[in-house]
Amino acid sequence: MPKERAAAAIAALKTFQPLNERDKDAQRKRDDRAESARIFIPPCKNPARREACLADPERFLRTYFARDYKRPFGRLHSRLIQSMIEIANHGGKKAIAAPRGRGKTQIVKGVIPYVICAGLRRFIVPVSQTTSHAMELYEDFRRKCMHNELFYEDFPEICHPVRSLEGAPQRASRQHVDGVLTRIEWKTDRLRLVNIPEEYCGPIEYGGVRMEYRGLDAAIRGINRDGDRPDFVPIDEPETRESAKSIKQIGDRINALDMDLAGLAGEDVELAQVLLTTIQNDYCLSFQFTDPDQRPSWMPERFGWVEKWPDEYPLEELKTGRWHEYIAIRQKGQREGDRYGRAATEFFLANRDAMIEGGELLADNFKSQTLPDGWETVHSAWQEIFNAIADTSFEAFCTEYQNDPPKTERIEKLGLTPAIVQSRTSELQQRQPPEPMVARTIGLDIGDRQSHWCDTAWDEGAVGSIVDYGIMETWFTHGSDEKAIELAILQSLHTWADEVVARVNPLLVLIDSGSGVAHRPAVYSFCKERGAPFFPSKGWDSARFRPKQRGDGIEPFDQCWAHYQPEEKLWLYNVNTEHWKKWLQQRFLTPPYDATQKRNPGSLLLFSDEGDRRRHLSYSHHITAEEERSIPVAGKAFKKVWFVKNRNNHWLDATALACAAAGAVGITLLKEQEIPVQSTSVKRQPKRFTDPYGRPFVATFRK
């Protein structure tokens, strides 16, 4: 063996060709490029200062970014910083409404680098009302790394590799420390901090820390970089003035926060979310997320600039007190051409102590201007506050700076809550029908893998009972084609009909024909095969629903009409879904019993929860997932809008279909004898007809 190895070495030497000049030149250039991409991490210039600042977030901000925080932090600023750091440490959600112009965005810009430098989080995604606003939060951190000298001195392992790129991000792929690639990314839409050898690292490892940004006006889902997922999402001012007035945009942004953002985190780390905002009206996203009754999981807080109004500004007598005199003097001066209201300022200085007595402010800082003649325009935060009231209105100030929109803009809504729905239970067991009972109807909301259904029983006067509800499961493999899904849904419908509906013997079953490609053919095929009482239905919103008169192939009902489909040879029920959802929710709001413990007409009860307070929890949240709201419209009366609070509304759809079916078979809030009889009255008579296969079906039509 040694001889063989020696022979191989001699043979290799004989075939060795020395490098020619061209090869030597190429090698020299490669070495030069490698050497030019080498960086050396300088040591921290002041470790004691760095350690002290990392131990105190406020000191960190005021030390490294002194230009941005020239004034002392007030209680509001300290609370904002504390909340963001607390959530970054422990995860969870926090929503804070603060006055406009009090430095919320600047606090966000300062806390982001602190969270990174303190090693609290490793993938930050700032979010704002638009992509351009979110990009400003991202670019602010990049500017700090590239141009802040004090920050560079104490955090060289973060800043020096960035500066070594010299504004050329394409150099990032070759940058190395002692031959170890730093893997830095420094792009306009995302960044990744460097990996460096252990001997150059400080006490905190920053290698692999990432940042991106997103606006609520664009797609948010799917942020996953080499297995890294976001773990800290600061949300700064989530809505524009336009979006805060649009019910559709409010709903879209709420869904983005509830679903898109909530799904960004990985399985092993709880996502930390902090929302900082200013309320624009009393139905916008900011109002809802900072309302403890609507969003308790966000631990909401609201701050107003004025915590207590001065004694000289009594709110119950709006035209008395020195501050009203100040406002009048300022407005009079402005009408006469004095833009700054000098006479009002003199009045304030002469009566200052008396005018501010009894008042308390969240922050005392104010903005003043020195005119060329040396005149100071503002001398107190109180003066700035009442200047804003004088120049706009008290209501505008309360909206912009107090996070307390005027009561005149309150949204009118039913006020149904999950707790109310859960409380509406009877003593009947699940699947036990009530006595007496004149009708039994079922609604089914079709879906791909899960279809929700609800079984209802009715007595005269629309006295209703939820007898049972559940989910119809459909099984098919991932990637199945439309025909396979259609067959799977059809099989599930037959199984459900045999196991659930057969024991009920309902008068009418309405099945939503669905939105998926495979839904409609599966539902139609099932209804044709089974016949009455199974019929497909199609939902319409109130704006598009058009009642029909009786005619060939048309049977009208209450907010519903059946249309015979000759090509399919079946009846299709067209339902005003918004009407029946509201009708259903009103039934839950109706007190179930009168003073004699007799069921009230128009009331609806669930079957017994048997002492389990969580038994109807999911169902109750489905029922309240949508609601009709009346919102103020400028120059007009209130406008009714159907508002979707979350997408888990399937039992709401199913139960509303069951209610529509009840209306189709003659269930009404008025008893038969209570319907006034006139010469032009509408009489309800049972009508017998057959389905396309000759099987009898009985329903109550209005003639």
DSSP state string for 67-109? GG--SPP-HHHHHHHHHHHHHHHH-EEEEEE--TTSSHHHHHH
What's the pLDDT band for 101 if we cut at 50, 70, 90? Answer: confident
| CA nearest neighbour of 610 among 403, 397, 426 | 426
> pLDDT > 90: what percent of the chain?
48
Residue-wise burial string across 436-451, b where 16 or more C-beta atoms lie within 10 A, e elsewhere: eeebbbbbbbbbbeeb
pLDDT, residue 702, reads: 34
Structural contact between residues 444 and 654, judged by C-beta atoms closer than 8 angstroms: yes
Query: Length of the chain, please?
Result: 703
Calpha distance 689→312 (Å, rounded): 78
**pTM of model > 0.85:** no
pLDDT in tens, 586-607: 999 999 998 888 999 999 999 9
Instruction: Give SS3 for 215.
Output: strand
pLDDT in tens, 279-308: 988 888 999 899 888 889 899 999 888 989
Minimum mean pLDDT among 13-22, 62-71, 398-407: which range?
Answer: 13-22
pLDDT, residue 681, reads: 35
Of the two residues 24 and 662, the one the predictor is more confident about is 662
Of the two residues 412 and 619, the one the predictor is more confident about is 619
Among 62-76, 259-273, 569-583, the range of highest mean pLDDT:
569-583
Calpha distance 690→129 (Å, rounded): 57
pLDDT in tens, 113-137: 999 999 999 999 999 999 999 999 9
pLDDT, residue 74, reads: 82
Structural contact between residues 372 and 392, judged by C-beta atoms closer than 8 angstroms: no
Of the two residues 216 and 13, the one the predictor is more confident about is 216
DSSP label of 441: E
Cα-trace Rg, the chain: 35
Which token pair is 651?
């039992």
Say yes or no to pLDDT of 78 above 50.
yes
> pLDDT > 70: what percent of the chain?
87
Say yes or no to pLDDT of 686 above 50.
no
pLDDT, residue 700, reads: 40
Mean pLDDT (the chain) is 85
pLDDT in tens, 30-49: 655 556 678 888 889 999 99
Say yes or no to pLDDT of 699 above 50.
no
Of the two residues 548 and 408, the one the predictor is more confident about is 548
pLDDT, residue 463, reads: 95
Say yes or no to pLDDT of 685 above 60.
no
pLDDT, residue 607, reads: 96
What's the pLDDT band for 195 if we cut at 50, 70, 90? Answer: confident
Residue whose tokens read 């039992």: 651
Which token pair is 474?
């459909």
**Cβ-Cβ contacts under 8 Å for 161 (sequence gap 6 or more):** 39, 41, 175, 182, 184, 193, 194, 196
Of the two residues 255 and 444, the one the predictor is more confident about is 444
Residue 202, CA distances (Å) to 51, 157, 159, 191, 589 in order:
11, 8, 13, 20, 62
Domains of the chain: 47-302 (3.40.50), 308-409 (no CATH), 418-614+650-671 (3.30.420)
| CA nearest neighbour of 628 among 591, 576, 665 | 576
Average pLDDT over residues 438-451: 94
Q: What is the dihedral of CA 156, 160, 162, 164, to 10 degrees?
A: 180
Of the two residues 37 and 623, the one the predictor is more confident about is 623
DSSP state string for 297-316? GG--EE--SEEE--TTS-TT
| CA nearest neighbour of 276 among 314, 238, 309, 242 | 238
Average pLDDT over residues 686-690: 44
Minimum mean pLDDT among 349-353, 369-373, 629-633: which range?
Answer: 629-633
Calpha distance 262→210 (Å, rounded): 18
Say yes or no to pLDDT of 262 above 90.
no
Helices 131-147 and 156-164 cross at an angle (nearest 10°) of 100
Three-state helix/strand/coil letters over 2-44? HHHHHHHHHHHHHHCCCCCHHHHHHHHHHHHHHHHCECCCCCC
pLDDT, residue 665, reads: 92
Say yes or no to pLDDT of 677 above 50.
no
What's the pLDDT band for 5 if we cut at 50, 70, 90? Answer: low
What's the pLDDT band for 696 if we cut at 50, 70, 90? Answer: very low
Say yes or no to pLDDT of 690 above 60.
no
DSSP label of 191: E
